[in-house]
Each structure stands twice: as structure tokens, then as C-alpha cells.
Amino acid sequence: MAREIIVLGAGIVGVSVAWHLARRGHSVTLVDRREPGRETSFGNAGIIQREAVRPYPFPRDFATLLRVLPNRQVDIRYRPGGMLQAAGPLLRYWHNSASPRYRQIVPEYASLIALSLESHAPMIEAAGAEGLVRKEGWLEVYHSVAELEARAESARADDECFGVRHRVMDGGELASLEPGLAQGMAGGIHWQDPWTVADPGGLVQAYARSLEAEGGRVHQAEVTGVARQGSGWRVSTADGALEAEQLVMAMGPWSRHWLHELDIEIPLFVKRGYHMHYGTSGAARLNHWVMDAEVGYLLAPMQAGIRLTTGAELERLEAPPHLAQLAAAERAARRLFPLGERLEAEPWKGARPCTSDMKPVIGPAPGQAGLWLALGHGHQGFTLGPATGRLLGQMMDGETPDIDMAPFRVDRF
């Protein structure tokens, strides 16, 4: 039976949920203060990471903690205010990153990652967005032979357990694929399954246009209130109120405020990130998405230029940007590849919504009939948005989901 449903949040998760619900015949309104795909979905690395079967754990080994402590790294930086504000979730994150618990989390997380490509595919086709997508994988490159060998061993294990295709390359093979990189690299890993996207925000916008073609509505307005109304839900916006039988909360890190108002507490924190686009110097060309794994940044040849993305910054959601991490990444990147001039006046900043056990929340909100949650995807919202929409649509229509959804329920906390 068709229902009236409001989806809050027009990032890739919210757009994907709305798209699947509209395809199922429901009357769907997607609400966000910005156009679709303009927040975190806009600024990511643009990889649909089928290989990312292991979520990022909190570093627990002494050597890594000593490396991070001076707070000058590219892959991770922290701010005391941000650490203090998120102390509870971060402590649980540290606990869940211990080996016994992490070993249990990985196969649960991998079951969701396994759906990533097959869930994006029908949306790409329906949106006519094939021109944005390349199916050539991406490269993880190493300066050190020892680091490359260690990573190759874990890649082989993931291939055996989770079917992650890859090819280990020595320095000569890497140079043949990417002659523009600095000489003397130890080699790299070519992850062969993932797809890359030349304009991540553009892909989300294409998905949103496809949603409208399916009969869904996109309503751009600031949300000012969320409340029960009878057996349904009322969403107040700057442009007036919307009412529906059911409501999906997919506002990423901004979900926490509205869930708190409804007495729902999730151990959610943010990892912020930055990007900048560059031209190229001389005749240099970057053929693939390339991650400098030992330093912690990524270079991506996108439509807007070569995008440089940083690692994570533990900081408050709305704190002003801190640009030293991007500057450090740029210095390192220029040693690897001859970047040209910056193409924008100001770097982009975004915030990844993370949970303390590294898994997203997908499913019904306990004690709140008609409220559904789709948030907390951490580093992999772009990868997992369509899979989340597919699975949540199955749950909302009373069908058996394609995978066990118990590990992603909110009441696990």
C-alpha cells in the first residue's frame, strides 16, 4: 500500500532512500536546507569502495599513537574541544576497535559493502549517469617495500574471505600505469572492483533528478521542528509544515540534534575532512585515483580538476576550518605528483557521521512508530547510500532484507 513518507537529508543516503521508496510506489518528499548532494556527499573521494570491507578502527598500537600524538599528520588530526565533546562515543570507538570485537564487526560490515556496486548500478542507469562513472578500480601506492608487503598480505586475506579482487604491483608496474608519479615508489595495490566517479555531487544530483522522474518531490528548506502528530509525523520548515505517515531521518551528523529531541541517543561523532582542486603542471597526467597510503591523502582526476582529499579531523561539527592538515597534504602530494595551481579560493570542508562501532544505523527507531533511521555511515556514505536505500525500502515494506539487518539496528547500543 502506498504511503506518504518524508525523508530528511538530501545527501546520497537520503536521496537513495527516497529513490527506492518512490520506485516502490510511495509518495515521497525529500527535504534539505541545501540542494541534493551539496554537503558531505559533494566532497568525498568519489570511490564506490567495494574493497572497503574493513571499517577504520581507532588506532590502538603504541607506535601509531606516538605518531599521531604530535598532531601533525595528514591522515588524522584532532582538536581538544572536539575530543572532549565526543569523549563518550570516542571511548566506545576505542573499545570496539580491540581485536576480538573488531573481528566480529568486520564480517557484519562487509555484508553491507558487498551490496555496493549492485545497488549503485540500477540508480546510475536510471539517472543516465554512466558518463560520470569509470570501472577501472583505483591505486593504493607505497614508498616502503615492507609496508606494501604487509598490506598485500591483508589484501590476500580479504580476497579469500570477501571476494575482493586486487593486483599487487612492483614499482615498475606502478610506473607503467602512472608515469607521472615520482620515481622510486615501492609499488602499489590495484583494487580492481571499485568504481570511481568524476563528480560525486553531480552523481547525487542525477539520482535526485531520477527521484523526481519517479514522482518524488525535492523540497529545499531549513527544518525547524520534527514531532509526532497523531499516528504520523509533522516536519516544520522555514516554508511551512509537511505531514506524512512515516519519516526517515537521514541527516548525517545533523541527525543527532533531532534525535535527541525525540529522546533517542546514538553514540555519534564526526570526522571532518577537506579537499581542494588543482590543475596539472606541464604534460603530467593522472590516470587513476591514487592514495598515498603511508601518508594518508588521495588524488583523484575529477571533472573539476585533480581533487586532493585529506584524512580525518576529530573536531566539533560546526567549528571553523583548520587548514594546516590540507596544507601538509598538499606538500606531500607535490612530492608524489606535479600538481598545478589551486583552482578554488577556499578549500571545501565536510563532516562524516560516525558511530562508535563503525557500522551505520539502518532500521526502525524504537518507541517511535513510523520513524526510520539511515545514518552514521562514516567514511563510506557514498559507497553505501544506494545499498541503504534498497535495504530500508525492503524493511519499510515488511519484506525480508537481502542481508541480516540486526547488526545495524539502533537498539544495539
pLDDT at 66: 82
pLDDT at 270: 97
Choose among 272, 274, 140, 120: nearest CA to 197.
120
pLDDT at 41: 85
Q: How far apart are CA 390 and CA 387, in angstroms?
A: 5
Residues 6+ apart with CB under 8 A from 234: 225, 226, 227, 228, 241, 242, 243
Residue 294: CB atoms within 10 A of its CB come to 17
Domains of the chain listed by start with CATH number = 4-42+201-267+357-412 (3.50.50.60)
pLDDT at 40: 85
Q: How far apart are CA 207 and CA 194, in angstroms?
A: 19
- List the strands of the sheet with 246-249, edge to edge: 217-220, 27-32, 4-8, 246-249, 371-375, 361-364
Q: How far apart are CA 41 and CA 13, in angstroms?
A: 9
pLDDT at 62: 79
The residues of the chain scoring below 70 in pLDDT are none
3 state DSSP class of 288: coil
pTM of the model: 0.97
Report CA 328 to chain centroid distance, whole Å.
23
Q: How far apart are CA 182 and CA 174, in angstroms?
A: 10
Is the CB of residue 210 less than 8 Å from the CB of residue 20?
A: no
Q: How far apart are CA 328 and CA 331, in angstroms?
A: 5
pLDDT at 283: 83
